[in-house]
Amino acid sequence: MSDFKKLFGKYVYILGAFTFVGLMAYLSTLPGFTITCTDNVCDELFCTAYCNVTNKGSQSVYLYNYDDWTMDFSPEVKNFSLYIKYYGKWRYTNFTMETRLPNIPDDRKYVFVFPRYSTKEFKIVVNAKDTNRIKYTFGDLDPTLIPYKITYEQIEKQVPIYEEKIIEVKEECYLNESMKKEICNPAYNYTTNEVVGYKTEFVDGDRTGIKLDEKTYKNANIDGNTLSIWSVPIGNRNYAEFGKCRDFEREKGVCNEVDLLNG
């Protein structure tokens, strides 16, 4: 369990292994601190969320860390990275001496500071290896990351299996009548690839739908935060231009839309 100690209204010591979620929850109890985070629907292997921590108070808060740290997710996520925006660029941080920002003097023992009257911007990058919704709690906030994958028709393809063989050509001699002498062609080897069999491979065919929350929705597409589901096959639709339900499709009842963040 996280163990925090506050001294003189501006120092926060981390006395044991702590979680980033626990730290944010603790900071949200301090006067003048507010925290905002984003929800996100993401079709990449990595989902990205953003959090702003604002210190409206008149005192800066200094963070000391002498132990390890982690971050809470539900379900559990092992591979993630946390970044802090520093002069317009994202820098990796884990609130240790090794990842302190360059503006902290070398002779200081604190690892991070939330300056008074300022906002710190954080970026959280999560390796979303499956399509489960991911929750990460910050005090009263419960932001959500919603990873999804596009599904495709799986087509069988027969692929030849080749085997490399060395062909030996023996020396060959013959009698040249005009020259009245024997002429020999020297022996030599050459390599060839021969088909010895076939194997089955699967390749992606037409787009079939969306996999979300470990469920597969056929004839579906996600555009922004909206999941559109058609009740009829839509074939090789131009998803960039027609990725959502069109008016006449709604009117005919062949397409339904779901707001993934607010539905």
Who contacts 160 (Cβ-Cβ below 8 Å, separation ≥6)?
A: 195, 197, 198
DSSP letters spanning 98-114: GG--TTS-TT---SEEE
Position 13 pLDDT exceeds 70: no
- Separation CA 81–CA 65 (nearest Å): 18
pLDDT category at 88 given cuts 50, 70, 90 is: very high
- pLDDT tens-digit readout, 167-212: 888 888 888 777 777 888 888 888 888 888 888 877 777 888 999 8
179 within 8 A of 209, measured Cβ to Cβ: no
pLDDT score for 7: 47
Is a pLDDT exceeding 50 seen at residue 81?
Answer: yes
Which pair of tokens denotes residue 92? Answer: 């990796």
pLDDT tens digits for range 218-255: 999 999 899 999 998 887 778 877 888 999 999 999 99
**DSSP letter string over 40-71?**
EEE-SSEEEEEEEEEE-SSS-EEEEE-S-EE-
Tokens of 112: 């991070």
Predicted pLDDT at 2: 46
**Across 9-18, 41-50, 80-89, 116-125, least confident range:** 9-18
Is the pLDDT at 101 greater than 50, yes or no?
A: yes
CA-based diameter of the chain, in Å?
Answer: 113
Residue-wise pLDDT tens digits, 15-38: 555 567 677 777 777 888 888 888
Q: What is the CA radius of gyration of the chain?
A: 32
Nearest to 9 by CA among 57, 52, 47, 48: 57
- The closest alpha carbon to 131, from 45, 221, 239, belongs to 45
